[in-house]
Amino acid sequence: MSSRYSFLIIFIISLLILLAAAYFQFVKGYEPCPLCIMERVAFLIVGIIALIATCHNPTRLGTWIYTVLIILFCLAGLYFAGKQVWLQHLPPDQVPACGPGLNVLIEDFPLSTILHELFFGSGQCAEVDWTFLSLSFAGWACVWFGVLILLAVWAAIRRTRFLG
């Protein structure tokens, strides 16, 4: 399996995760919190980078550049998902207050408030509406960001080891 196929798999996984998120939001009615939105942005950027890498079919150096970019955005996504998992496991008396929805924030609040909500979350981010195998949406995001990091590293190692 060449690095090109690894990047294609990363793209497909990212796309499927974003489609699942859209399904849960628009069909099942789960409203995303600010940290969920940031996780989705990270998955989107990782998917775009992987798609570009797939189409480009880079050399060894290019493969490593794409791998580093994917890892950086996966680590950003892990930060947001990890922050959300942490909020979900806080005792109820330590959970921050719920802020207004993101639409209200964008319309009525300064950029600093919006950024604070996006990067640090609110009480809304501590709610666990759904679990599968004891993991919430954020827990699964952590798992998938880890998988994508491993696939990106695999692509770079394969390119380096087997193609000179």
What's the pLDDT tens digit per position in 1-20? 577 889 999 999 999 999 99
Q: Quick one: tokens of 59?
A: 């050399």
Reported as a pLDDT band with limits 50, 70 and 90, residue 59 is confident
Q: Which residues of 125-157 are buried (b: 16+ CB within 10 A; e: fewer)?
A: bbbeeeeeeeebbbbbbbebbeebbebbbbbbe
Q: At 96, phi and psi to the nearest 5?
A: -65, 160
Lowest-pLDDT choice from 75-84, 93-102, 126-135: 93-102
Cα 101-106-108 angle, rounded to 5 deg: 90
Domains and CATH numbers, the chain: 3-162 (1.20.1550.10)
Alpha carbon 144 to chain centroid distance?
8
pLDDT (mean) for 47-75: 92
Length of the chain: 164
Q: Of all residues in the chain, what percent carry a pLDDT higher than 90?
A: 41
pLDDT at 121: 60
What's the pLDDT tens digit per position in 88-100? 887 777 766 655 5
Tokens 């924030």, residue located: 105
Residue pair 39/9 in contact (Cβ under 8 Å)? The answer is no
Residue pair 84/33 in contact (Cβ under 8 Å)? The answer is yes
Residue pair 42/77 in contact (Cβ under 8 Å)? The answer is yes
What's the pLDDT tens digit per position in 100-111? 566 666 676 677
Amino acid letter, residue 59: T
User: Which one, of 163, 161, 160, 159, lies nearest residue 5 by Cα?
Assistant: 159
DSSP class of 135: B
